[in-house]
């Protein structure tokens, strides 16, 4: 009979400070857990019979790990069984007799979707960032990015997601959805998220991405003419939209007027560049490059959660420094 060791019981004597452990340690300190759990509590079912439900804080931590590591419900269940680090972050006891299964994880996600809690969590996170002075409200940068969707028809219905569409960007066709965001012009933190099919034009969601308190709005050439649209009338904002690439290429930069226009375009581009940082975080840091669910509502809810977490990740060093 093999002798039982400390490692097999979960009491490892040597623990390397891996990048994943470092990441979870930082996010554990910057996520406002108490405030987010309080948003979910009024909608959480109360189990009077049967097995006691898992704590909301545990389920929220599991839900966030899914977003950070790109795990499906079955994969998240397996990670809880395989990795002590995941159980530790979820605050599950080492000697627990049961762990959340994929159905439990699925029901928690459906609870968040049914009550639009992702948007409320984004608002709660941003409220704390504004209180800390990490997000200003004088300027907004708007932009959109394409998110690919599965094109395979090998499923029970034999078809693609009917809410996803194709669009052409440059010379390449893309099938999926589009994530529209409004970000703070100073910090690049996201305050508004909208999801549409890929064939929706960026300009149709421009006004929906404003929070109403900004004085200046920056956008790329895809937003040309936004100030003339009906929904833009009456807004007390100054639109700073990039010049169309073809028109910019023919500028005579040897003249004073041409040189000033080119300098203005570079200045606008330096402000717009901040909106690319959240896209990089969710696509490169969190690995979100393809939709996971069917339908725009579920995928938009996931996008809102991802951008809320990206805001915290982008300012985590400053939050940790201010907390000492």
Q: What is the pLDDT of residue 153?
A: 79
Q: Which residues contact 77 (CB under 8 A, 6 or more apart)?
A: 99, 100, 101, 102, 105
Q: Flag whether pLDDT at 324 surpasses 90.
A: no
Which helix H or strand E contains 217, and what residues bound it?
strand 216-219
Q: What is the pLDDT of residue 59?
A: 96
Q: CA triplet 296, 299, 305: central angle to 5 degrees?
A: 135
Residue length of the chain = 324
Query: How far is 125 from 121, CA to CA, in rounded Å?
Result: 6
> Nearest Cα to 311, choosing from 13, 30, 5?
30
Q: Model confidence at 49, in pLDDT bands (50, 70, 90)?
A: low
| Residue indicated by tokens 């839900």 | 63
Residue of higher predicted confidence among 3 and 267:
267
Query: How far is 31 from 143, CA to CA, in rounded Å?
Result: 26
Q: Model confidence at 176, in pLDDT bands (50, 70, 90)?
A: very high
Query: How far is 232 from 206, CA to CA, in rounded Å?
Result: 9
Radius of gyration of the chain (CA): 23
- Say if residues 197 and 163 touch (Cβ distance below 8 Å): yes
Residue of higher predicted confidence among 170 and 34:
34
Strand 172-184 and strand 165-169: the pairing is antiparallel
Phi, psi (deg, nearest 5) at residue 255 = -90, 160
Q: Model confidence at 15, in pLDDT bands (50, 70, 90)?
A: low
Task: Report the percent of the chain where pLDDT is more than 70.
Answer: 94
Q: Which has the minimum average pLDDT: 18-32, 83-97, 175-189, 215-229? A: 83-97
Q: What is the pLDDT of residue 8?
A: 46
Digit-coded pLDDT (tens) for 243-296 = 999 999 999 989 999 999 999 999 999 999 999 999 999 999 999 999 999 999
Query: How far is 80 from 138, CA to CA, in rounded Å?
Result: 43
Q: What is the pLDDT of residue 14?
A: 57
> Is 193 buried (19+), middle (13-18) or exposed (0-12) by CB count in 10 A?
buried
> Is 72 buried (19+), middle (13-18) or exposed (0-12) by CB count in 10 A?
middle
Task: Find the largest Cα–Cα distance for the chain.
Answer: 87
* pTM of the full structure: 0.91
Q: Model confidence at 2, in pLDDT bands (50, 70, 90)?
A: very low
């Amino acid at each position: 009979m093999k002798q039982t060791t400390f490692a097999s019981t979960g009491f490892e004597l040597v623990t390397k400070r891996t990048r994943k452990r470092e990441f979870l340690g930082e996010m554990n300190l910057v996520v406002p857990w108490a405030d987010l759990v309080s948003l979910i509590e009024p909608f959480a079912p109360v189990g009077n019979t049967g097995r006691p439900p898992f704590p909301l804080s545990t389920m929220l931590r599991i839900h966030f790990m899914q977003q950070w590591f790109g795990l499906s419900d079955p994969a998240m269940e397996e990670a809880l069984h395989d990795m002590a680090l995941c159980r530790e972050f979820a605050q599950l006891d080492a000697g627990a007799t049961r762990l959340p299964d994929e159905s439990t994880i699925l029901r928690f996600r459906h609870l968040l979707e049914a009550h639009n809690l992702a948007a409320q969590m984004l608002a709660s996170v941003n409220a704390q960032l504004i209180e800390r002075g990490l997000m200003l409200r004088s300027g907004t940068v708007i932009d959109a990015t394409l998110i690919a969707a599965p094109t395979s028809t090998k499923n029970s219905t034999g078809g693609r997601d009917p809410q996803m569409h194709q669009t052409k960007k440059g010379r390449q066709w893309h099938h999926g959805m589009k994530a529209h965001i409004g970000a703070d012009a100073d910090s690049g933190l996201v305050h508004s998220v909208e999801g549409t099919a890929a064939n929706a034009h960026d300009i149709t969601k421009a006004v929906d991405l404003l929070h109403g308190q900004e004085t200046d709005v920056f956008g790329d050439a895809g937003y040309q003419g936004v100030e003339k649209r009906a929904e833009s009338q009456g807004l007390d904002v100054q639109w700073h939209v990039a010049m169309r690439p073809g028109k910019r290429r023919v500028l005579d930069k040897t003249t004073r007027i041409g040189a000033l226009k080119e300098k203005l375009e570079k200045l606008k581009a330096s402000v717009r560049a901040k909106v690319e940082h959240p896209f990089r975080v969710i696509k490169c840091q969190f690995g979100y490059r393809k939709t996971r669910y069917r339908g725009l509502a579920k995928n938009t809810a996931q996008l809102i959660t991802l951008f809320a977490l990206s805001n915290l990740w982008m300012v985590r060093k400053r939050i940790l420094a201010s907390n000492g």
